[in-house]
């Protein structure tokens, strides 16, 4: 395998503590009650609009938009962000780069907060391109990100894989007709279904080095 397209949250970076903290604060700033028991890592992965719809389907359109706006402000300007890379991620990226593999990002995270985290953890140098949900307007899907990366960089599909922690990552890879690898250290709650829908599961990032 020569080309690796990575998801971000739950795959490369352990963002859940900071993201869930920001989301609860976004609800509070919008004057909405938030049950902390509902704010669990398994929520993460889909676009923010889908997460809020799942948490609060009865809220008005305006209130949902206010929560989204509050959340983006908190993420874009977060101080003392507690996000960290998962174990062995940085070493694995360094080794893949030395092996002349082509690395990319396809994430449902917005551009500003993605770039802030990459700067915080000195990760820009590993990736040829970064695709975020708001790279274009209207927002693009994970499948569209994968397809555009393949087309833009003239990648062979048989030498390209999508690595993510969510069932939706594996489904996006399937829709783009590339190989899917699902990580078991991420936020997907239904690990059994994840293993059924993906081509391969891994327990450690270092397993990517032998592909």
Residues 86-111 have pLDDT tens digits of 999 999 999 999 999 999 999 998 89
Encode pLDDT of 154-189 as tens digits: 999 999 999 999 999 999 999 999 999 999 999 999
Residue 198: what pLDDT? 98
Backbone dihedral region for residue 122 (phi beyond 0: left; psi -120 to 50: alpha; all else: beta): left
**DSSP notation for the chain:** --EEEE--BTTTEE-HHHHHHHHHHHHHHTT----GGG--GGG-SS-HHHHHHHH-TTS-HHHHHHHHHHHHHHHHT-SS---EEPTTHHHHHHHHHHTT-EEEEE-SS-HHHHHHHHHHTT-GGG-SEEE-TTSSSS---HHHHHHHHHHHTT--GGGEEEEESSHHHHHHHHHTT-EEEEESSSS-S-HHHHHHHSSEEESSGGGGGG-
Looking at residue 19, what is its pLDDT? 85
Q: What are phi and psi of 168, to 5 degrees?
A: -65, -30
pLDDT of residue 60: 93
What mean pLDDT comes out for the span 110-137?
93
């Amino acid at each position: 395998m020569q080309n690796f397209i990575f998801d971000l949250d739950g795959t490369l970076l352990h963002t859940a503590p900071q993201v869930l903290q920001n989301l609860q604060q976004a609800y509070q700033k919008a004057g909405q009650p938030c049950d902390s028991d509902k704010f669990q890592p398994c929520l993460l992965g889909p676009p923010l609009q889908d997460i809020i719809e799942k948490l609060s389907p009865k809220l008005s359109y305006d209130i949902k938009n206010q929560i989204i706006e509050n959340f983006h402000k908190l993420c874009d300007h977060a101080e003392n962000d507690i996000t960290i890379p998962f174990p062995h991620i940085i070493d694995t990226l360094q080794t893949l780069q030395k092996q002349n593999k082509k690395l990319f990002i396809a994430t449902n995270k917005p551009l500003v907060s993605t770039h802030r985290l990459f700067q915080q953890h000195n990760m820009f140098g590993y990736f040829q391109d970064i695709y975020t949900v708001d790279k274009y307007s209207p927002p693009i899907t994970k499948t569209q990100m994968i397809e555009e990366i393949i087309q833009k960089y003239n990648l062979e599909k048989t030498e390209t894989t999508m690595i993510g922690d969510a069932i939706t990552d594996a489904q996006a890879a399937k829709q783009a007709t590339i190989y899917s690898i699902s990580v078991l250290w991420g936020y997907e709650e239904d690990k059994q279904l994840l293993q059924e829908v993906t081509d391969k599961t891994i327990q450690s990032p270092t397993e990517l080095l032998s592909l």
